[in-house]
A and B are shown apart, each in its own frame.
Chain A
Amino acid sequence: MAKRVMLIEDEPNIIEAISFILSREGLSVETHSDGTTANDKLRASTPDLLILDVMLPGKSGYDILRELREEAGTVDLPVLMLTARGQTRDREMAERAGVSAFMTKPFSNAEMLEQVRTLMAETS
């Protein structure tokens, strides 16, 4: 059964790009664009990997991640964080919140795919 990736992102074109790349890798991709409902969605069906944007409407990626890490079911979930704000401070905040990997937009598709593979391999 194909591994499942959940993508939380609010830019439609970026959603489309990432979905296309991951589908071609044989992964099933589920996307959400609203920050406020993200945690409920995750609780309902926990994916093998979460790709998370930082600046989301309603709730920031950091908050979603921190909540995630407090719950038993998702405490070890691999999370790849993507952000358009590439400052050192943002990376530090992501690490404190418990991120597994961190990438700055714009990213190279190959690198992003490599990151995804690495994270999935660690869990399985």
Chain B
Amino acid sequence: MLNTLVFVGSAYALFLFAIAFAAERAALRGQARWLRSPIVYTLSLSIYCTAWTFYGAVGTAVRSGFEYLTIYLGPSLVLIGWWLILRKLVRIGRSQRITSVADLISSRYGKSNLLAVGVTILAVVGTTPYIALQLQSVTLSFEVFGVGDIATGEEKGHTALWVAAGLALFTVIFGTRNLDANERHNGVVMAIAVEAVVKLAALLAVGVFVVWGLSGGVSGVLDKIDASSLGQWQMDGGRWVGLTVLSATAFLCLPRIFQVLVVENENETHLRTASWAFPLYLGLMSLFVVPIAVTGLEMLPEGSNPDLFVLTVPLSQGRDGLAVLSFLGGFSSATSMVIVAAIALSTMVSNHVVMPLWLRYARGGAKVSGDVRGVVLLARRLSIIGVVMLGYLYYRLSGGGAALASIGLVSFAGLAQILPAMLGGIFWRGASRLGALVGLTLGFGCWGYTLFLPSFGAGVFLPEAWGAAGPFGIGWLRPHALFGIEGIDPLLHAVFWSLALNTGGFVLASLASFPGPLERLQGAQFVNVFEHSAAPRSWTGRVAQAEDLMIMAQRILGARDAQRLFEREARRQGMAETLPAPTPSFLETLERELAGSVGAATAHAMVGQIVGGMSVSVEDLMAVADETAQLMEYSARLEAQSQELARTAAQLREANAKLTRLSVQKDAFLSQISHELRTPMTSIRAFSEILRDTTGLTPEEQRKYSSIIHDEAIRLTRLLDDLLDLSVLENGQVSLNLREGLLSDVLDRAVAAAAADEHAAPLRIIRDPAAERVWLNTDLDRLSQVFINLVSNARKYCDAARPALEIRVHRGDRLVVDFVDNGSGISPEAQDVIFEKFSRVSDQKAGGAGLGLAICRQIVTRLGGEIRYLKGQDGAAFRVALPADIALAVE
């Protein structure tokens, strides 16, 4: 018998391999249409019905009456209301290329890898016992057939190991055949669809046999039900609602269900079919549960395991064929669950745990090429083997005892913790990463403390005393009576508290935290997915793409470079005369070229937009925005710099003009000095040569010529003195020698000094002694120098017949001294330049070099006053205005 069973089991396994292989081949040939019908989709959902459901439903019916129905009711309600949650989940899954539950949660909350790792751990912890449960059920069913033959735990372990190894092999082969971005597995889906048919057929066959073969039809069964303990069963409303909610939640959150429901979904409209077909399937699965249960109770000896009635009832009647079919049904249930769960978990583990670690630690040192496919595949395969073996280990360690029986619901409750973050994520934009983290942590912790750890039995993980008196004697922290609420079913208690804390923490932390930009955008994409994404759309035509790419590339790279690039790529593809085909390698090259001009993210988004199908993700847009911001900042900096340069250039031009002006002035000045010095030297040289070379000069002539030489030498000396004086004054190196004295005394000295010039014409000087009685505190010598200049100018240049100079003094807010002569004055043009160096008004004799007034202006400025030509007078008129504070009180 056992040999037959092993043979049938192996043959069935081979059959599944063949189915999966054929489906993969068909998919490769492009005949995937029939593989992906709504019926196949619906049947693939049946992995919800595991061995726990296949065998365990009857056991549950025996123990808890009709309560087993809740396990079917929850998923049915979710599917009937498919447009509420499922449609959105599937649309998000497709538009965001979601690969797993962990990916969904992480993607929604700003691509948080922390969340992804958390959900992955949750999924592994929640699924491992479930895989162990499947292995146990297969082992048990073997045991049923070979009663006595394989009694030892050692051999039970062998069976489980063989099953586990076989499942791992199948999953590795068909679960990682290729790396599709969408994570779809045609072979696997087809195989589990076939298995779904097998398990339904097996259960229906046993049911029909029980009802019409053993009980004499429907009425007979009803009589039996009335007679059994099920007839007296009373419904516990709270537990019903709780379990229904729990199974509905689990249906949404279980990684394997998410895999077939969202990831493997080919077409959103398949949900419409599944919404009635899957509840129907579940209805058929549950149809004969109660008849089998009551029949088993009636016909089998007391103490028989009701979890195995599906097998033992046909066996007890000698119906070996039916029993084998039933075994295959259970086998199918177990294997399909393990396979899909392993695929789903390995995707999460490799994507969110292995790859990030590998990229961080191995990549830099290992110098691997850009292709990480090999690494991903290896990670997937190792993850699959790891997940299945973890289940096997759990099975061996837990001893396959009673602890496993209740593990299904415990597992459900653990995975249900994902629900608040999932639903919040797709319906509430305010949901934040922190909220998801807090909610998951609280819910997971609460579940572990109140349900998972106690499920191993008192004293295994939690001290026994905790159950009775609470940890450290704190009564309200007892695992089964949190916050002092006692008398509730432990499962409901745990589900209630874990989900309540989870949801509460999620909402409060979300409200309290402020999501980052990427998170907000992802949130909007998820919540408003129907506005952002079109229904399943076809890929744009390939023909137009190359031209569009060319147009874009020309715009960015310039026509010549773009054409060169496209020609080169076309040659590489072996089609010299046309545009290159948009192969991945060409697109990569193009992207790289464009990235040099517009930044990597922008290039990626542009190429993606044109090639189509590749939707531009929020991350891409964020990166584009970053690049744009950088460019803008860069150009703003450039603009600032160019403004600065313009300013500097203007300053340089100005400085240069000034230098040029100064240089011209310097040349003119040197030329002037040269002339002024050469003139007296000419006379000196000429007369000294005359005196030296000429014989027979009269003494008269000799004296005359000698005195000319003398005069000119003095003139030369004075000129040099003036130049030095002016230079000192202009450089500001002069220090004033302040003394007190009477203005009249200063004027007296000036008039006397000017009169000392023997060549000068007589000049009448008119003064006002009363007004001149002003005490000064200033540099009297310098002031006197100014006055001497003005008086001697009048003496030299006043062209009146009877030259006269009037000196007027008056005090206002300043002390003013005017020098006005009675000559013809200075012409208006000359008035503008008389204070400049070497400007001589009348040029003859006079001997002045034109420095006098320039020196006067410098001196008066130093003294804090001002000298200017006074217009509107009869003759030449100069005004010296001094600050009032140099004048002291009148004595």
Contact = CB atoms under 8 A, between A and B. Distances in A.
B667 to A, nearest CB: 9
B689 A108 contact: yes
Contacts, number: 68
B814 to A, nearest CB: 37
A6 to B, nearest CB: 18
Interface stretch (B267-275, B440-448, B471-479, B671-679): B671-679
A16 B690 CA distance: 11
Contact of A105 (B682, B689, B711): B682
A31 interface: no
Interface string B679-692: 10111111101100
A57 B830 CA distance: 14
Contacts of B842: 57
For chain B, the bracket of interface size reads 20 to 34
Contact of B674 (A12, A24, A84, A107): A84
Contacts of B531: none
A21 interface: yes
Interface in B827-845: 842-845
Contacts of A14: 679, 682-683, 686
B844 A106 contact: no
Contact of A109 (B684, B693, B712, B844): B693
A84 B682 contact: yes
A84 to B, nearest CB: 4
Contacts of A16: 708
B735 interface: no
Contacts of B844: 10, 33, 57
A87 B675 CA distance: 10
Interface in A4-33: 10-14, 16-18, 20-21, 24, 33
A80 to B, nearest CB: 14
A119 to B, nearest CB: 19
Given A12-B845, A108-B689, A86 B674 contact: yes
Contacts of A24: 694
A17 B687 contact: yes
Nearest to B683: A13
A13 B688 CA distance: 12
B685 A13 contact: no
B686 A17 contact: yes
A55 interface: yes
Contacts of B690: 17, 20-21, 109
A41 interface: no
A109 B678 contact: no
Nearest to A17: B686
B833 to A, nearest CB: 15
A11 B679 contact: yes
Interface string B531-550: 00000000000000000000
Contacts of A12: 845
A85 interface: yes
Interface string A81-124: 00011110000000000000000111111100000000000000
11 contacts: A10-B843, A11-B679, A13-B712, A14-B679, A14-B686, A17-B686, A21-B686, A84-B682, A105-B682, A110-B689, A110-B693
Interface of A: 10-14, 16-18, 20-21, 24, 33, 55, 57, 84-87, 104-110
Which 9 residue pairs across A and B have the least CB separation, nearest first? Answer: A84-B678, A17-B686, A13-B683, A105-B682, A106-B682, A106-B685, A57-B843, A109-B689, A84-B675
Given A57-B843, A110-B689, 5 more contacts: A13-B712, A17-B686, A84-B674, A85-B678, A106-B686
